[in-house]
Structure 1
Amino acid sequence: MFDDFSINESLSGIGNKLAEWLDTLIVNLPNFILAVLVFSFFILAAKYIGRLMNNILRRKVSQDSIRQITVKVLKTVIILLGFFIALGLLNLDKVLTSVLAGAGVVGLAIGLALQGTLNNTFSGVILSFLPEIQIGDWVETNGFAGEVVEINLRNIVIKETDNNYVVIPNSKIIEEPFKNFSRTPRSRVSLDCGVAYSSNLETVQNLTLETIEELFPQRGNEEVEFMYKEFGDSSINFMVRFWTDVSRNRDILIARNKAIMAVKKAFDNNGITIPFPIRTIDFSNNLSLNKGKEDTES
């Protein structure tokens, strides 16, 4: 009899609790529906506002990584704002506080576990807004050289001259120096050469300057520079420097190739020799093996 009474009392308590929950749900149902509608509205707003911002940035910003990062951050902020407003409509202020506290703890744990990944992510944000390196630039960094084809939140992708792609973590680009050929329209190219000791040095200098200036017209304050450097083993060596259009390393190689052919042709036409290393054997030593043998016999 006692057991039946306990069971009935328990069932009655459960029924009362369910009834209270149902009453609470009915009372708060308008707020719940409103919260769902508000949160859904913010999700849709984030989608369309992100699309609108992407179109605007596409006309204003040429770098894809900047557009991607800006749109993602904007959409995330809008969705989080809608989430917090929805919690406020449900009178879940304590839940909101707990969510923020839990997010801080989880964020700290994730930050400690993913230090390298987060370092690359923040480096990617910096690279995206860094004007010194952009998509399409020709750079040399970390022992690699090529065209920048992608900058994302994890790495930078470079296409080398052999048509292979190199993926470099963003943190490596930030921490290591890099050389960007595309940031300046013109660069100075150096060419080393040598002439025979019998050459007229003034003639060599004038002829070289005329040849390079004709092949590579200088602009503004630019000029072709010629300087003898040293007395080499078989030649007097000099260096000539000139300015030309350069946007990648290949342009330097092409300019140097043209300069070598033009200077060689000019030297050949004027009887100027570019010597190659020569080794001379001197037989003027008076010592003789026969002389030593004669001394022994006497």
Structure 2
Amino acid sequence: MKAQLQTAVESLIEKLEGWFTTTVEMIPNLLLAILVMIVAYFTAKYVRKFVTKIASKKISQDSISIIIGKVAAIAVVAAGLFLALGILDLGKTLTSLLAGAGVVGLAVGLALQGTLSNTFAGLVLSFKKKIEIGHWVETMGFSGEVIDINLKDFTLKEADNNMVIIPNRTILENPLKNYSLTTKMRVMLECGVGYESDLEKVEQLTKQTIANNFDQVKDPNNVEFYYTEFGGSSINYLCRFWIDAENALEKLKSKSRAIIEIKKAYDKEGINIPFPIRTLQFDSNLSVENADKFQEEFSNN
């Protein structure tokens, strides 16, 4: 028993000594492998910037240039990893990893169906010329400037400076309004004037006011003006005109400016913009005696 124990201890010591010797011998290779990975990491950062810059000169979509830069960086890191494994003489390990990648990839693909669908949707969005970084879009109740299109999500910056992150798949599956695809937008303004107003004068004054304050209009005849209804307290109209704008914020500013200038013009000409009022009329036949008589008849019944 004592001899067997001594043999086991000697065998263990021999193995530990072998491992120690191997570790000491591998230290230079290990340090070199770590150095290779560090160099690959920093090289990947510069490669990403360089490739993105070169791609942006050839491709108009910024999102595609960014993705190409990221792919180039990943390729550099992967090359560094393979080189480091080769230095450590882990070629067989690398082969085993590649052999098992197919099975693992299938399992991961089934588990990450949503993530993969967003990835492919991100690729599709990146190659869409009608959706680019810097465009002002509206989708699913959110409106803002496209800040980023990556392989996971779609980022909007709203007018109030809040960021909205939307999955790529959702963008592809839902309608999207892109304000930046055209350089013109139509401003629609609804208002009402009093029943005592000269309607022809109101129309002429409104058109002239819009033409005087918007260089894009110039001619009053380019302003559309339609009376729409006899309202409860005013005669209502719809005024429409085109402006040079590429986002909803410019359109909103133009509408605000038009309201201010029209109000000034109406005040100067004495044109009334009425607000809803209620008139209470008491018939002369209603008197205290009639009220008492009605109350007496009601009590008898």
Q: Tell me the TM-score normalized by structure 1.
A: 0.70
Bigger CA drift: 277-286 or 210-219? 210-219
CA contact (8 A) 1:141 1:179 kept: yes
Relative to structure 1, the CA distance from residue 220 to residue 121 in structure 2 (aligned partners, 3 Å threshold; closer, same or farther) is: farther
In structure 1, give the amino acid aligned to 2:54.
I
| Residue in structure 2 matched with residue 246 of structure 1 by the alignment | 245
In structure 1, give the amino acid aligned to 2:57.
R
1:293 aligns with 2:292: yes
Find the aligned partners of 2:252 and 2:233 in 1 and give their Cα distance. 26
Offset at 1:202? 0.9
| Residue in structure 2 matched with residue 150 of structure 1 by the alignment | 148
CA contact (8 A) 1:155 1:168 kept: yes
Deviations 1:244-287 (A, max 9, x none): 12222221121011111111111112221100111011112523
Offset at 1:148? 1.5
Deviations 1:92-117 (A, max 9, x none): xxx98x98875443333222110110
CA contact (8 A) 2:190 2:236 kept: yes
Find the aligned partners of 1:166 and 1:56 in 2 and give their Cα distance. 30
In structure 2, give the amino acid aligned to 1:234.
S
In structure 2, give the amino acid aligned to 1:155.
D
Deviations 1:54-102 (A, max 9, x none): 342121235442123234556778979xx9xxxxxxxxxxx98x98875
> Tell me, what secondary structure is at the counterpart of 1:173?
helix
Offset at 1:52? 6.3
Relative to structure 1, the CA distance from residue 70 to residue 236 in structure 2 (aligned partners, 3 Å threshold; closer, same or farther) is: same
> Tell me, what secondary structure is at the counterpart of 1:159?
strand
| Residue in structure 1 matched with residue 175 of structure 2 by the alignment | 177
CA contact (8 A) 2:130 2:181 kept: yes
Instruction: Trace 1:114-133 onto structure 2 (pairs within 5 A).
Output: 114-133=112-131
CA contact (8 A) 2:234 2:274 kept: yes
Relative to structure 1, the CA distance from residue 218 to residue 52 in structure 2 (aligned partners, 3 Å threshold; closer, same or farther) is: closer
Offset at 1:208? 0.8
In structure 1, give the amino acid aligned to 2:156.
I
In structure 2, give the amino acid aligned to 1:231.
F
Structure 1 unpaired stretches of 5+: 1-42, 84-94
Relative to structure 1, the CA distance from residue 52 to residue 161 in structure 2 (aligned partners, 3 Å threshold; closer, same or farther) is: closer
Alignment equivalent of 2:139, drawn from 138, 141, 150: 141
Structure 2 unpaired stretches of 5+: 1-39, 83-93
In structure 2, give the amino acid aligned to 1:225.
E
Deviations 1:189-234 (A, max 9, x none): 1111000011111111111111112212346999211011111110
In structure 2, give the amino acid aligned to 1:130.
K
> Tell me, what secondary structure is at the counterpart of 1:182?
helix
Instruction: Number of aligned residue pairs: give it.
Output: 250
1:255 aligns with 2:258: no
State the Cα RMSD in Å.
3.8
| Residue in structure 2 matched with residue 212 of structure 1 by the alignment | 210
Q: Tell me the TM-score normalized by structure 2.
A: 0.69
